[in-house]
Amino acid sequence: MANLSVNICGVAFKNPLIAASGTFGFGREYNEIYDISQIGGISTKGMTLQPRLGNPVPRIAEGSGVILNAVGLQNPGVDHFIKYDLPFLKEKGIVIVANVAGKSFDEYGEICAKLNGLVDFVELNISCPNVKAGGMAFGIKPESIEKVTRVAKSSLSKTPLMVKLSPNVESIPVNAQAAERGGADCVSLINTLTGMVIDIERRRPLIANNTGGVSGAGIKPIAVRMVYEAAHAVSIPVIGMGGITCGKDVIEFMMAGAKAVQVGTANFTNANAMPEIIAQTNGWLDAHGIKDINEIIDTVRLNG
């Protein structure tokens, strides 16, 4: 059994597998299938200041090797999380990452202030529209990434800040550096890629929102490339995700430079995905005589 524990920003993880935001709720349902204390951590469903009902249905469609979703941040609000879900997750002894979303810079600051000191990390979902700036997502332009990071960081004196980067941008390295300048303690990537799936008989998009975020096994090569680029552009830790379904995928992301990974859509196709991926990761390390997973981080060397 290799050492799977990693340390990111002074926070100890028993293994580098974190359940990705929006695919694991607040952990309660999966805990009925297996004891979730086995996983390294959980990133909660994206939380807003007020509860949200989300988008009209259908909100999820399938493609080949991918799914498309436009859930629209359905969540019970940050106060409900603090009162009902946080005590449950604390008992599980896993790293708690609170994924948050705001409609304005101030709202990000307000949500972060509520979570300061209560969770292990706050993860900023910056793929949501800034209502005051005409609906452009906070995570597109480096200037707005730096600003939202700075606002969040100023409310987080006791909790490290993870900024989650969108792949629907001009430059991942430039945006990762903007987060670092704004005071991010680490970055995570990738969020979903914008896509569309059409029902050709009805000649209409399959989901009510018309477009949605693409995730799942099919996006992995894009995610690995972006994780590599981010890891070589900043000096803060990088957490990688996008299409991870097995232990070899974890190794691949970590070789690209990720210090930990998140597993999302795989939880939908196989409810036991995370414990199985942890065992497979360990199996690969054992088969290669590697005693500590930290030894493989950032070890890929480019051809030529």
Ligand X SMILES: Cc1cc2nc3c(=O)[nH]c(=O)nc-3n(C[C@H](O)[C@H](O)[C@H](O)COP(=O)(O)O)c2cc1C
Which residues are identified as catalytic?
Answer: 128
CB of residue 14 to ligand X, shortest distance in Å: 20
- Token pair 């028993």: residue: 14
Considering the rule CB under 6 A, would residue 260 count as an interface residue with ligand X? no
Name the DSSP class of 171: -
CA 21, 22, 25, 26 torsion: positive or negative?
positive
Which one, 224 or 234, has the nearer CB to ligand X?
224
What mask, x for binding ligand X by CB under 6 A, covers residues 183 to 222? --------xx----------------------xx--x---
Residue 249 Cβ vs ligand X, minimum distance, rounded to whole Å: 9
Measured from the CB atom, the residue of 246 and 290 that comes closer to ligand X is 246
Closest to ligand X by CB, 44 or 155:
44
DSSP bridge pairs for 11: 8
- Is 242 a binder of ligand X (CB under 6 A)? yes
Distance CA 100, CA 109 (A): 10
Nearer to ligand X, 46 or 205 (CB): 46
Tokens representing 131 are: 């209502």
Q: Is 99 in the site for ligand X (CB under 6 A)?
A: yes
CB of 289 to ligand X, least distance (A): 29
Site for ligand X contains 128 (CB under 6 A): no
> Do 132 and 104 meet the contact criterion of CB atoms below 8 Å apart?
yes
How far is the CA of 155 from the CAs of 97, 107, 132, 152, 237, in angstroms? 16, 11, 21, 5, 21
166 binds ligand X, rule: CB under 6 A:
no
Among 40, 237, 243, 247, binds ligand X (CB under 6 A): 243
Token readout for 302 is 């480019």
- Give strand pairing partners of 42: 19, 96
Cβ atoms 260, 189 nearer than 8 A: no
Q: Which of 15, 21, 166, 209 touches ligand X by CB under 6 A?
A: 21
Three-state secondary-structure class, residue 6: strand
**Could you tell me if 103 and 131 are in contact, meaning their C-beta atoms sit under 8 angstroms apart?**
yes
19 binds ligand X (CB under 6 A): no
125: contact with ligand X by CB under 6 A: yes
Name residues contacting ligand X, limited to 24-83 (CB under 6 A). 45-46, 69, 71, 73
Total residues contacting ligand X by CB under 6 A comes to: 25
Q: State the residues that interact with ligand X by CB under 6 A.
A: 20-23, 45-46, 69, 71, 73, 99, 125, 164, 191-192, 215-216, 219, 241-244, 263-266
